[in-house]
């Protein structure tokens, strides 16, 4: 790996963690959803710090050019993160559905109570 390429990758690996930490600190990213991001970032760091390791691993799998190995691993992680996002969306969907159903049941009870109270409620509001 050439020196300039190493410098560029180190820069982006740093930037990646800075952005991650800022998002976590601001509370814009929940820690429980960021574990995959942190883990892939750590792997990225290891690859940058020990390029020989990357070369060894990729040639061990049977990939001739280390860069292709890097691409393959990156794509694997992107797919993993996308899948976890879909899982999260599905969970949120179920929660919203349950909330909407419960709200509608409660709204009905409130409506009925208001009908019974009728004028009294208007007096309270005044």
Partner 1 sequence: MKVLIIIPAYNEAGSIIDVIDNIDIFYPTADKLVINDSSTDNTKEVLKQKGVNFLDLPVNLGIGGGVQAGYLYAYENDFDIAVQMDGDGQHCAEELSKIIIPIENGTANVVIGSRFIDKKGFQSSAMRRIGINFLSGLVRICTGIRVRDVTSGFRAVDRKFIEIFSKDYAQDYPEPEAIVTVAKAKGKLVEVPVVMKERKTGKSSISITKSAYYMIKVALAILIQKIAG
Q: How far is residue 14's CA from residue 38's CA, in Å, rounded to a whole number? A: 12
Among 93, 113, 117, 121, binds partner 1 (CB under 8 A): 93
Residues in the chain: 126
- The span from the CA of 10 to the CA of 51, in Å, is 12
Q: Would you tell me how many other CB atoms lie within 10 Å of the CB of residue 118? A: 9
Among 18, 33, 107, 117, binds partner 1 (CB under 8 A): 107
Please identify, among the stretches 10-18, 81-89, 94-102, 116-124, the one whose residues bind partner 1 according to the rule CB under 8 A.
Answer: 94-102
Interface with partner 1 by CB under 8 A: which range of 14-22, 39-47, 63-71, 105-113? 105-113
Handedness of CA 94, 96, 97, 103 (dihedral sign): positive
User: How many of the chain's residues bind partner 1 (CB under 8 A)?
Assistant: 11
Using CB under 8 A, list all residues that contact partner 1: 93, 96-97, 100-105, 107-108
């Amino acid at each position: 790996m050439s020196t300039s390429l190493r410098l560029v990758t180190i820069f982006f690996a740093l930037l990646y963690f800075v952005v991650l930490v800022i998002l976590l600190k601001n509370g814009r990213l929940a820690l429980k959803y960021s574990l995959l991001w942190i883990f892939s970032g750590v792997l990225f760091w290891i690859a940058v710090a020990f390029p020989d390791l990357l070369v060894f691993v990729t040639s061990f799998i049977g990939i001739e050019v280390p860069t292709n190995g890097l691409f393959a691993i990156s794509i694997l992680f992107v797919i993993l993160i996308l899948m976890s996002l879909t899982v999260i969306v599905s969970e949120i969907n179920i929660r919203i559905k349950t909330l909407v159903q419960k709200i509608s049941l409660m709204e009905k009870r409130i409506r009925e109570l208001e009908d019974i109270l009728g004028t009294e409620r208007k007096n309270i509001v005044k």
